[in-house]
Amino acid sequence: MANNKKKIIQTTMDDISPYELEMDLAELRARVDEWIEKYGPDARLDWDKYHYYPYESEPSPRFNILVSREETDAEFTNRLENEKSQRLAVELRERQEFERLQQKFGKAK
């Protein structure tokens, strides 16, 4: 069954090296204030200790700034259409399999 409610989408807006936070606390406060102004007061600073770059064999921990938002009307409509087409594709595959098995084993009595 389709979810007819808009979803909350969490988007990574920026990634920050831990080294970028090595500064005086007053400078750090100013930096955080910049992020609040740029991304809003509800943005979240998230620690990713398992971040890997494609070319590295060891993790490079990063901070990510995450912003949550409700999906747009276009995203909502597109998601519902995709869910419906996927559901119809599964039903078609199952119907074809059912008919194939009916031919192979005969109809149920």
User: What radius of gyration, in Å, describes the C-alpha atoms of the chain?
Assistant: 24
For residue 43, is pLDDT > 60? yes
Token reading at 40:
């809003």
Average pLDDT of the segment spanning 22-45: 95
% of the chain beyond a pLDDT of 90: 71
Question: Which residues is 67 bridged to in the sheet?
Answer: 11
Single-letter amino acid, residue 62: R
Would you call 39 exposed, middle or buried from its count of C-beta atoms within 10 A (0-12, 13-18, 19+)?
middle
What's the pLDDT at 98? 93
CA distance linking residue 97 with residue 77, whole number of Å: 30
> Is residue 46 within 8 Å of residue 28, measured between CB atoms?
no
Share the mean pLDDT of the chain: 90
- Residue 54 in this model has a pLDDT that exceeds 70: yes
Residue 85 has pLDDT above 90, yes or no: yes
Instruction: For residue range 87-97, list pLDDT tens digits in order.
Output: 999 999 999 99
Whole-angstrom Cα distance, residue 104 to residue 38? 64
pLDDT on residue 93: 97
What is the per-residue pLDDT for 72? 92
- Output the pTM of the full model: 0.62
Q: Pick the more confident residue, 56 or 83.
A: 83
The residue with tokens 């930096």 is 31
Tell me how far apart the alpha carbons of residues 98 and 101 are, in angstroms, rounded to a whole number: 5
